[in-house]
Structure 1
Amino acid sequence: MTGRPPASAGRRCIELVELLTAYLDDALDAQTRRDVEEHLRGCAGCRAALAQWRAVAGLAGRLTAADVADLDPYVRERLLATLTSPRRR
């Protein structure tokens, strides 16, 4: 036994989490999107992770330049790097 779900169970959670931002950006091919949606239907943990990413994206979208300017310089740099760095595909 490998600890992996059977093929019919779809992607493992760790694989899915790596695809969530692309899923939210509608940047997945049709088959991968179907696989992700199938996994999400059966996995409460991954649905919770998706909800967290949606919340982060929503909050980040409401940040103003003044909000970011008032941050500690280190935190500001890390936040900007996270939000602007290219994602792995």
Structure 2
Amino acid sequence: MGRAPCCEKMGLKKGPWTPEEDKVLVAHIQRHGHGNWRALPKQAGLLRCGKSCRLRWINYLRPDIKRGNFSKEEEDTIIHLHELLGNRLI
């Protein structure tokens, strides 16, 4: 009962992603979406765990990720909201 063990016990690849793995992941998500992260690596043919695929997509490969420095307007908004709300979690 319960979930299958994560990558440590299943002999899946750990560490840095290769450009080829990135291409496979992006192509699979563009074709099929990302409905089930736990099943995605096997469907895409990757030797990674679902959590690794999800984090790679969310943090690095999504096309709508904004990279680079904050604009002056964004920085002012962040400072204003921090003055207003502090470090509270919403």
TM-score, normalising length from structure 2? 0.33
TM-score, normalising length from structure 1? 0.33
State the structure with more CA Rg.
2
In terms of fraction of residues, the more helix-rich structure is 1
